[in-house]
């Protein structure tokens, strides 16, 4: 570490972070690897920067008595015990509002890919088997004119709805709290969760992961869905019971799933879900565009630096 930097605040981070973030932070803080929480240096650590989703719980915070801020690169903070941080007067920052468009684009990409069997088609088009065009192969499901059900009408859910409406879809939603203002503005329809599951052609998950939404979609819920339905998970893997989903896809209880996230993440390489042809799967790419990731880096840096200097965070997690 250069001597001139040794007086900079120490920040615990799940390294490596991207080169862009390392550079952005280099003149402000010294990033220490996660293992530093177990070392002598723990007492000197003034901030925590979470890049992937390392667990920040009460036990970790108790080992870091000088921490003033936890800054998360991303909006979802299910890996951070926010009440434990608040109880220790530690600010928690995240990056809301920045990644809604990118995440909704990805949810829609997954929906389109699953409906139109794009990944199967890509594999076939590259394979030695494709030597004659045959109009009868790889028939998919229609997107336009169908009914989309959105579970979780927050900012990302709303962005998904807007894309669906442009595809001439009818949009149903369910949310903890009904949103008449969104209904009036967009023309989406509120229904119960059961009605949504049994009526929608496609179901998109955009809820945060909380104790209430863990395994929101399990065996019973999958059974309620149409045999032609597609489940798109753009939320968190644990919102869906992976065993129940694997079973439903294997038995064709539903038509397909399109997943940006899984539980666990990544799935073990020999997991049966990875062998199914009716699954499209991405490695958690919801916000992975150059522009969005740049903005997330800036906001998470600003939150971190504000917290380290005792200023209010530009984006602090609600209730913190
Ligand atoms: C990020 C995310 O990829 O914002 C979130 O909650 O899950 C994603 O945007 C992630 O936070 C980076 O690790």
What 3 state SS string does 52-83 have?
CCCCECHHHHHCCCCCCEEEECCCCCCCECHH
- How does pLDDT run across 121-146, given as a tens digit for each residue? 999 999 999 999 999 999 999 999 99
Strand ranges in the chain using DSSP code E only, listed in sequence order: 10-13, 30-33, 45-50, 69-72, 91-93, 147-151, 170-174, 189-190, 202-205, 230-233, 256-259, 279-281
265-273 mean pLDDT? 98
- Residue 6 has a pLDDT of 67
User: Is 265 annotated in the active site?
Assistant: yes
- Residue 4 has a pLDDT of 46
Please tell me the distance between residue 99's alpha carbon and the centre of ligand 1 in angstroms.
9
User: Is 236 annotated in the active site?
Assistant: yes
Could you give the 3-state DSSP secondary structure of residue 224?
Answer: helix
Atom of ligand 1 nearest to the CA of 292: 9
Which of 4-8, 286-290, 301-305, 316-320 shows the lowest per-residue confidence on average (mean pLDDT)?
4-8
Core vs surface per residue 14-23: b (16+ CB within 10 A) or e:
beebeeebee
298-311 mean pLDDT? 98
User: Which of 286, 292, 303 maximizes ligand 1 atoms within 8 Å of its Cβ, making it the mutation to test the pocket?
Assistant: 286
- How does pLDDT run across 51-102, given as a tens digit for each residue? 999 999 999 999 999 999 999 999 999 999 999 999 999 999 999 999 999 9
Q: How many CB atoms sit inside 10 A of residue 179's CB?
A: 18
User: Is 117 annotated in the active site?
Assistant: no
288-300 mean pLDDT? 98
Q: What proportion of the chain, given as a percentage, has pLDDT over 90?
A: 97
- Residue 320 has a pLDDT of 75
Mean pLDDT of the chain: 97
4-9 mean pLDDT? 75
Domains of the chain in start order, with CATH, are: 3-98+291-308 (3.40.50.720), 100-281 (3.40.50.720)
Q: What is the pTM of this model?
A: 0.95
The answer, yes or no, to whether the previous bond of 296 is cis (omega within 30 of 0) is no
Q: What are phi and psi of 118, to 5 degrees?
A: -60, -40
With beta carbons less than 8 A apart as the criterion, state whether 68 and 46 touch.
yes
- Residue 29 has a pLDDT of 98
Q: How many CB atoms sit inside 10 A of residue 316's CB?
A: 17
Catalytic option among 155, 265, 271, 295? 265
Please tell me the distance between residue 32's alpha carbon and the centre of ligand 1 in angstroms.
21
Judge if the beta carbon of residue 287 lies within 6 A of ligand 1. yes
């Amino acid at each position: 570490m250069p001597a001139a930097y040794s007086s900079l605040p120490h920040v615990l981070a799940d390294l490596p972070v991207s080169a862009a973030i390392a550079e952005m932070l280099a003149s402000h803080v010294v990033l220490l690897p996660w293992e530093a929480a177990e070392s002598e240096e723990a007492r000197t650590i003034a901030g925590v920067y979470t890049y992937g989703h390392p667990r920040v719980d009460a036990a970790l915070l108790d080992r870091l008595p000088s921490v003033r801020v936890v800054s998360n690169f991303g909006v979802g903070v299910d890996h951070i015990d926010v009440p434990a941080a608040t109880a220790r007067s530690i600010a928690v920052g995240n990056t809301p509002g920045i990644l809604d468009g990118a995440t909704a684009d990805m949810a829609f990409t997954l929906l389109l890919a699953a409906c139109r069997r794009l990944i199967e088609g890509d594999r076939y088009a590259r394979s030695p088997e494709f030597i004659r065009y045959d109009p009868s192969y790889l028939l998919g499901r229609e997107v336009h004119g169908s009914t989309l059900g959105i579970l979780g009408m927050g900012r990302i859910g709303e962005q998904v709805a807007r894309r669906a409406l442009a595809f001439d879809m009818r949009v149903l939603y369910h949310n903890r709290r009904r949103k008449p203002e969104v209904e009036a503005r967009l023309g989406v329809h509120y229904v119960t969760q059961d009605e949504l599951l049994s009526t929608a052609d496609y179901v998109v998950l955009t809820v945060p992961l909380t104790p209430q939404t863990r395994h929101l979609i399990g065996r019973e819920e999958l059974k309620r869905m149409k045999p032609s339905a597609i489940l798109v998970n753009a939320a968190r893997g644990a919102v869906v019971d992976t065993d129940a989903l694997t079973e439903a896809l294997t038995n064709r209880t539903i038509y397909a799933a399109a997943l940006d996230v899984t539980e666990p993440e990544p799935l073990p390489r020999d997991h049966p879900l990875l062998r199914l042809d009716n699954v499209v799967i991405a490695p958690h790419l919801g916000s992975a565009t150059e522009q969005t990731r740049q903005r997330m880096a800036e906001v998470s840096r600003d939150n971190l630096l504000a917290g380290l200097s005792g200023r209010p965070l530009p984006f602090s997690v609600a209730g913190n």
